[in-house]
Structure 1
Amino acid sequence: MFLWVLVCWLLFCCLPAIQVICGTHLPGTVVPRKTVPYNDDTMTLFRVDDVQNYSSMLLREDLGLLLLGAREAVYALDMRNISHKKTEVQWSVTHDEQVDCTNKGKNSHDCWNYIRVLHALKDGKMYVCGTNAFSPACNFMTYEEGKLSLQNKKEDGKGKCPFDPHQRYASLMVDDVLYSATTMNFLGSEPVLLRSFSTTTLRTEFKATWLNEPRFISMEEVPESQGSTVGDDDKVYLFFNEVAVEYDFYSKLTVSRVARVCKGDMGGQRTLQKKWTSFLKARLDCPVLQPSLPFLLQDVFLWRDSDWRKSVFYAVFTSQSGSADLSAVCAYNVEDVSQIFSKEKFKTPVAVETSHNKWVMYSGELPVPRPGACIDDTARQQGIRSSLDLPDKVLQFVQTRPLMDPAAQPLSGGPLLVKRGALVTRIAVVSVAALDGQNYTVMFIGTDNGFVEKAVNYNGETFIIEEIQLFSQPVPIEVLRLSVTTGYLYASSSYGAAQVPLSTCGRYRSCIDCVLARDPYCAWDVNESSCTTLAPSQSLQTGNLIQSVKDADASQCPNPGPVERENVTFTMGSSVKLSCRRGSNQAVVHWLRDNQLLNRSSGGYMYDDGLLIPKASAATAGQYECQSVESPKGRKYYTTLAVYQLLKEGEGEKLTPPQPEAQAQGHRLLTLWVVVGVLSTALGVLLVWNLYHGHFCLPGCTCTRNPPSSPCRATPAQMYLAPEGASGVTLLPDPNSNNNHCEVTFGGSAQVPSSYSAKHCSLVLQYIDDESEI
């Protein structure tokens, strides 16, 4: 029993180290391969002193501008260098508006005009909205002759822009028609999905069955009329979180939703006048831990294919449990989500004895045409040309039953990525052609501590290429946009805006580092001896380029040249620091002294940045080599990072360089040292424990099983390990003790201090050659 407990303890303690050595990680602990600090030279930052909340962004590639909305200002920045501000326009609130806002009980910090909505119109103008001291307002903006200007067309922004500068909302401009999801009143108690600038303004019902305390996330348009054989209509999809009405729970349970409406919806004739007749919603599921509370949606990005049926919604989720720091990325096929609304069953409320309704699957006959469906060829053949012609029974059905029974399930049945640590906030996705001719989806994921992670999924395995710190302060990423035209990713937060390249191949200085990055943007050019960004025309030209994104195979890399040795002179008794930083978070660093592996007991302290030798002596001199070992897919790749020659002060001669054979032998002994160390520790603990408890008696000494005064037992306080250099493992009694105790020697001869008298008995474990001796 003791042996089993000991083994379990060893596994529990050593498992994290074994996982690091083997390059594997527990589920939910995917580690970025590289961490790029804030001061990296590939990054560009924009911020203005005393200006906060850069919470809206619009890319105008036709003008080469990035429009950035902040507190009481809109900035026009150069898309290729956002630190270059071309122009700006101020939009401030009046003193009376600020006073009125604070008199209503709002914090003075929030009683400014925070720009939250920025959209481009067909005529080149822009539509901009701000919170305007909790009284939302909108206006039109132009960019002419290098100058931004607000037109004198200020209008009410209720239902188009949130009142609260910290409130989540969703907004979309399609064919100069504005779709917005926010609140209609000062208190935020009337959520709405609103369509403006159309011949018919439509909104949702103020009912909990439609929207129940929602937190709006994102909105996307899908051109489902393209290629449709039934004359279908385009759709607008809305993503949000809300309190579920269909679950009996001891408290409010929040779930994630996807809803959709038809672009051609005109509302009802009598029922649902100026209301959506096509509003349907379904639960959005991202199963991470079972059982657990549902993970909640934070952002959605629509990756568009030329065929909308192959387009994919990429969504990021976080745990709603305050004790869990888990985040996940799930992907949903657009056609699968569309099929839920067009073909699956509805939920319906039924009265029960309690005061609450219970929601169950509706199994009755559906009215014709199908409730919530867009007007298609079948409906037109029945004389229904628009939603105004829909029968009341169809409208009454969708008015009381907008919820679908099944939930939208992710591709492959589960998340693409589960990670611990900083929670995810935003996501942007781009497709990249690699050297093998395949297209891979690269995900840029923003976090709540100001980092962006670059990740790719290879055959079900998600690999985080790098994480980049965008801001000096740990602020959440609020907006992510990318431009394939410029090749940059743009992010904003309350602190400022940042710009980073989509590909940073120059960051990898060796062939192994470049290939193991597994970045579909990058390949090692053998001729140029550099990591280069692939051009689209190079995707099928393997020639002098090396890349292995799926297999992480760097065996084709040429042998690197020797690392230049650096001489370090030290004085006796001084501290010596040797610098060596690993190039990958997934690598393990080893130090060798004169081709022999250093361990923790070698007199030096190993840490992330190098090796510290606190008290240098004559034995400190020698050659020190820092090696990085990375083990993707079970293969080991060794990289020499630094070589130092330590010389005592006054010595000028250089030692002979190490032979390659001895260096290779040190590599092979690494694994053996680890295994022998763990097994020796386990055996020693087990033997000492049995001796201490008297579970067996040693040959050559007479002792009883239990008496604590037995001369052949030593208490832990009376034992000490023999000094280094002694043969075997020796347990000696404390010289200061007056009791008679035994020396226990495992093989070899013990070094007994001279203070021991003859009354100390000597117990030696010897091999028994004759079984009769047992």
Structure 2
Amino acid sequence: MPPLLSLGVFGLLLPAALMLAEDPPLDCVPRKSVPYHSNNALLFREESVFNYSTMLLREDLDLLLVGAREKVFALDLRNVSKNITSIPWKVSQKQVADCGKKGKDEQTECKNYIRILHKMKDGKMYVCGTNAFDPACRYMSYADRNLTLTDTDEDGKGKCPFDPFQRYASIMIEDDLYSATSMNFLGSEPVLMRSSSSSIRTEIKSSWLYDPNFVSMAWMPESQKSEDEDDDKVYLFFSETAVEFDCFSKVAVSRVARVCKGDLGGQRTLQKKWTSFLKARLDCPVPGSLLPYIIQDSYRWCDSSLPPAHWKECIFYAVFTAQPHTSKISAVCTYRMLDIHKVFSEGKYKTPAIVETSFIKWVVYTGEVPRPRPGACINKEALTMKINRTLDLPDKTLQFIRDKPLMDQAIEPIGGRPVLIRSGATFTQIIVTQVQASDGEKYKVMFIGTDQGTLLKALDRKDGEMFIIEEVQLFNSPQPVKILKFSSETGQIYAGSDVSVVQVAPANCERSSTCVDCVLARDPYCGWDSEESKCVSLSSSQRAIIQDMTGNPSLCPQVHVEPTKLSFRPGEKFELNCSSPSNLAKISWTRDNLPYPQDRVFTPSFSANNEGLYRCLSVEKSKSGDYKTTVAYYLVSVDSRDLRTIDTVDPQARTAGSTNAGLIVVIVLLAVFILLLLTWRFWKRYLPCKWGKEPQRNQETLMRNGNG
């Protein structure tokens, strides 16, 4: 397509995309919203220390290692509010000054932000920091409740980012560090690199990596049970500017790339460069949007049950957000490892073609594909051709992969659509757990961090229903969740932000106070214990509990509700309150068992006409039907005896009325007192107290006045 025509098409599609993206047909509302003061979380922070965004679970040491700005903390894995020990790693004043001379902010950018934190085979840890825009790495050990850092710095270029605010990814495999970051100070040389005795990296070419934002990395043991003697792979998730779209403006797309663990580079072509680097577009088609969504994080989930599942059955969960400045809609898409594997091992390639002088268009490659297959690991096919390592690969294969690393086919999500969509929130992180419910089925639960510091708990249902169990506010003030970790040892979730670390349990069943509320929550972690009459964790109860993953509370025992008796004096403010048990419930009222069309019961002046039996009903939908429960029940009558009132369940409903009645009583008493005082003064002045002497005194007074 010519550039001008493509510009016109893009100009037509962009407004439509923006308009449609504002109102998606699918949107999921959390059933419950849990404020910060009710999150039951454990918190850690230290004054003047920021950016708690790097974590390493050391379950063997019962520690959570946290990398922050200029410090590494060793926190108690079971209670992160307990700081076992810590160690500083600061930069010198000279490094700060040199960094400032290069145009960076000395107070923020010219610090040492810990970005790499991995365990090694000998139990030590490998730590890297931005080091005032001069990345460096050290070894760290833990013994006798103390952390120790080596004094000698290793060069961290290509391992750790220069810029503390730049996206990056890393993973440690058998003491080899795989990292995706920038090689230079300006951030203009992005690389995927393996640091080992045989270091290797990507080409500095826009066809390989074009203004990327690295997200995460994962290792897949594809050599296990491999019929074609394949190699293990390392997968990189990122976004970058698309080269294949015919658009005048730059459009970002989501990608997944892979490399082979045993790759040694080429002999002449691609020396010390990946010979197995391939990448493909990762699609997450949000209904109503025409522009691709951008990946923000991914999580590899593999069934850990025994016997362990085949690696092809693993699933990647990924969170996506809309293109910048378009809409605030986020989504979760899931991908089968088998589908990703097929695209790379069997799919077609894209190739650049010159169209209309200097315009380059990426099209499907239809020519002959060299053997061994470009981008493939050393497998049975290569071994049959007497190629035992990548150094033996022919130049024809290497030249092909150097020019054409992009696959033609996009990787589609399971079901062809997201499993979850949410408007008004920006997803940042995701982890996934699996729990067995009382029905014997295993359910996957997604925990999703947002840029507002909340944690969404969502059920990944097999029937395709999107359901968010709750949204928990993790931090006192809104701030992005920068990292999420889950410990299978403690069963706890750990979240990091710029100002603190938080530990929360995956379930707080006590938030449901009734059986109906507990069952409608559809939380596989929780069920109703009839003997104790409370919502409990399945793992903590040995008795049979009530739980239904379709949300059917008809299994709950019938509860007889007696009305709360209220009496009001005429003229009092009359108000009955009713709180909705969930964000998904609709509230309605009845009066004397007849529909009451108001959403609340209120009148500024009570009268006998307001007497009756008021019931507040909650109606909530689930997969098994609509369920109606009584939330509040009042018997209202006129109190004509005195000013005493009967205790109520919600005293706030009568606060205003009681205050008005008290004021009236005070005014009446004051008026009576004044009237009595005036009456007493009047009688004292004009009525005689001694009847025999008062007339004589008056006569003597008149005679004296007359003589005068």
TM-score by length of 2: 0.83
The higher-RCO structure (CA 8 Å, 6+ apart) is: 2
Instruction: Compute the displacement of 1:619 (Å).
Output: 4.0
Per the alignment, do residues 357 and 654 of structure 1 end up closer, same or farther by CA in structure 2, a change over 3 Å counting? Answer: closer
Counterpart of 1:65 in structure 2 is 63
Residue 154 to residue 537, structure 1, CA distance change in 2 (3 Å)? same
Residues 1:633 and 2:623 aligned together: yes
Let me know the Cα RMSD of the aligned residues: 2.2
Alignment match of 2:27 (pick from 26, 29, 37)? 29
**Residues 453 and 468 in structure 1, CA contact (< 8 A), matched pair in contact too:** yes
Whole-Å separation in 2 of the counterparts to 1:92 and 1:99: 14
Choose from 609, 614, 621 the match for 2:604. 614
Paired residues of 1:455 and 1:464 also in contact (CA < 8 A):
yes
Whichever residue aligns with residue 242 of structure 2, its letter is A
Please give the secondary structure, in 1, of the residue aligned with 2:479.
Answer: coil
Change beyond 3 A, Cα 1:563–1:49? farther
Measure the CA separation in 2 of the matches of 1:40 and 1:599.
Answer: 33
Shift of 1:120: 0.8
Match for 1:84: what amino acid? K
Who is 1:751 aligned against?
none
Question: Deviation per CA, 1:279-315, whole angstroms, max 9, x where unpaired?
Answer: 0000001111355110000100000133101000101
Residues 618 and 648 of structure 1 are in contact (CA less than 8 Å); yes or no, is this contact kept in structure 2?
Answer: no
Query: What is the SS of the residue equivalent to 1:173?
Result: strand
Q: 2:548 maps to which residue?
A: 548
Inter-CA distance 641–291: structure 2 relative to 1 (3 Å threshold)? closer
Contact 1:169/1:218, CA 8 A, preserved across alignment: yes
**What's the counterpart of residue 285 of structure 1?**
283
Equivalent residue letter for 2:352: P
Q: Report the CA distance shift for 1:563/1:98 in structure 2 as closer, same or farther (over 3 A).
A: farther
Distance change >3 Å, CA 130–CA 578, structure 1 → 2: farther
Q: How far apart are the structure 2 equivalents of 1:557 and 1:598?
A: 27
Residue in 2 that maps onto 1:454: 457
Amino acid at match of 1:534: L
Summarize deviations over 1:471-521 as a string: whole Å, max 9, x none.
111111110111122111111111211111112222212111111111111
Would the alpha carbon gap of residues 415 and 232 (structure 1) be closer, same or farther in structure 2, given more than 3 Å must change?
Answer: same
Alignment match of 2:248 (pick from 250, 268, 286) = 250
Task: Describe the shift of the 1:348–1:653 C-alpha distance in structure 2 as closer, same or farther (beyond 3 A).
Answer: closer
How far has the Cα of 1:612 moved from its partner? 4.9
Q: In terms of mean alpha carbon deviation, does 576-585 or 123-132 score higher?
A: 576-585
- The equivalent position to 1:515 in structure 2, one of 516, 519, 533, is 519
| 3-state SS, counterpart of residue 397 of structure 1 | helix
- Give the C-alpha shift of residue 654 in structure 1: 7.7
Give 1:6-17 correspondences, 5 Å limit: none
Aligned to 2:538: 534
CA displacement at 1:588 relative to structure 2? 1.3
Q: Indicate the larger mover: 218-227 or 575-584.
A: 575-584
Q: Give the corresponding residue for 1:308.
A: 311
Quote the residue 2:184 is aligned against. 185
Retained in 1: the 8 A contact 2:26–2:287? no
Amino acid corresponding to residue 546 of structure 1 in structure 2:
I
For each residue in 1:403-447, what CA deviation from the matched residue of structure 2 results, as whole angstroms up to 9, or x when unmatched?
111011111111111111111111101111112222111111111
Match of 1:498 among 495, 502, 508: 502
1:375 CA displacement: 0.3
**Hey, what does 2:481 align to over in structure 1?**
477
Residues 529 and 106 (structure 1), Cα distance of their counterparts in 2 relative to 1, 3 Å cut: same
Is 1:282–1:404's contact at 8 Å kept on the other side of the alignment?
yes
The Cα offsets for residues 585-627 of structure 1, whole Å up to 9 and x where unpaired, read as: 1011223445444333xxxx73xxxx55434445445554333
Give 2:254's aligned amino acid.
S
Give CA deviations for 1:109-163 in whole Å, capped at 9, x if unaligned. Answer: 2221111111111111111111111111111111110111212232121111111
1:385 matched to 2:388? The reply is yes
Distance (Å, rounded) in 1 between the aligned partners of 2:343 and 2:426: 30
CA distance in 2, matches of 1:252, 1:132: 33
| SS of alignment partner, residue 226 of structure 2 | coil
Distance 1:132 1:640, change over 3 A: same
Cα distance, 1:166 vs. partner? 1.1
The answer to whether the 8 Å contact 1:181/1:191 transfers is yes
Cα offset, 1:571, TM superposition = 5.7
Matching residue of 1:673: none
Alignment partner, residue 427 of structure 1: 430
Q: Which amino acid aligns with 1:128?
A: V
Q: Shift of the alpha carbon at 1:547?
A: 1.6
Q: Give the distance between the partners of 2:104 and 2:614, measured in 1 at CA.
A: 64
- Identity rate of aligned residues, in percent? 53
Structure 1 unaligned residues grouped into runs of 5+: 1-24, 656-774
| Alpha-carbon distance between aligned partners in 2 of 1:438 and 1:537, rounded to the nearest angstrom | 18
The AA in structure 2 aligned to 1:137 is A
Contact 1:294 1:320 in 2 (8 A): yes
Distance apart, 1:566 and its partner CA: 5.9
Cα contact 2:25–2:288 (8 A) shared by 1 = no
CA deviation map 1:16-69 (0-9, x unaligned)? xxxxxxxxx973321111111111152112112222211111111111111111
Instruction: Report 1:391-406 matches (<5 A).
Output: 391-406=394-409
TM-superposed CA distance for 1:358, in Å, is: 1.3
- How far, CA to CA, are the matches of 1:623 and 1:43 in structure 2? 41
Q: Secondary structure at the match of 1:101?
A: helix
Q: Indicate which of 344, 353, 356 corresponds to 2:359.
A: 356
Deviation, structure 1 residue 378: 2.2
1:692 match: none
For 1:26 and 1:340, the matched residues in 2 are separated by 29
Q: What does the per-residue CA deviation read over 1:327-369, in whole Å, with 9 as the maximum and x for residues that have no partner?
A: 1111100111011111111111112223121111111111111
Aligned equivalents of 2:626, 2:643: Cα separation in 1: 37
What is the TM-score when the length of structure 1 is the normalising length?
0.76
Aligned length: 616
| Distance in 1 separating the partners of 2:571 and 2:73 | 60
Of stretches 470-479 and 257-266 in structure 1, the one that deviates more from structure 2 is: 470-479
Which residue, out of 468, 471, 475, partners 1:467? 471
Q: 1:195 to 1:149 in 2, by over 3 A?
A: same
Contact 1:433–1:536 (Cα < 8 Å) also in 2: no
Q: Which residue of 2 aligns with 1:707?
A: none
Are the equivalent residues in 2 in contact too, given 1:350–1:358 (CA < 8 A)? yes
User: Which of 95, 109, 116 matches 2:93?
Assistant: 95
Match of 1:236 in 2: 234
What is the CA-CA distance between 1:577 and the residue it aligns to? Answer: 4.9
Amino acid at match of 1:68: V
Alpha-carbon spacing, 1:300–1:593, altered in 2? closer, same or farther (3 Å): same
The alpha-carbon distance between structure 1 residues 654 and 256, as it changes in their structure 2 partners (threshold 3 A), is closer
Residues 563 and 635 in structure 2, CA contact (< 8 A), matched pair in contact too: no
Give, in whole Å, the separation in 2 of the partners of 1:526 and 1:254.
Answer: 53
The change in CA–CA distance for 1:536 and 1:201 in structure 2 (over 3 A counts) is: farther
Q: Secondary structure at the match of 1:546?
A: coil
Moved more, 641-650 or 274-283: 641-650
Between the aligned partners of 1:437 and 1:238, the Cα distance in structure 2 is 35
Q: 1:260 to 1:648 in 2, by over 3 A?
A: same
Query: How much does 1:572 deviate?
Result: 5.1
Can you list the C-alpha shifts for 1:84-123, whole angstroms capped at 9, x where unaligned?
1111111111122112222211123222111111111111
Paired letter, 1:167 = Q
Q: Which residue number in structure 1 is paired with residue 703 of structure 2?
A: none
**Which residue number in structure 2 is paired with residue 164 of structure 1?**
163
Give unmatched runs, 5+ long, in structure 2.
Answer: 1-22, 648-708
- Matched AA of 1:547: Q
Confirm whether residue 443 of structure 1 aligns to residue 464 of structure 2: no
- Please give the alpha-carbon distance, in whole angstroms, between the structure 2 residues aligned to 1:547 and 1:194: 49
Distance of 1:29 and 1:385 partners within structure 2: 52
Give yes or no for the alignment of 1:565 onto 2:564.
yes
Q: Is the 8 A contact 1:267 1:274 kept in 2?
A: yes
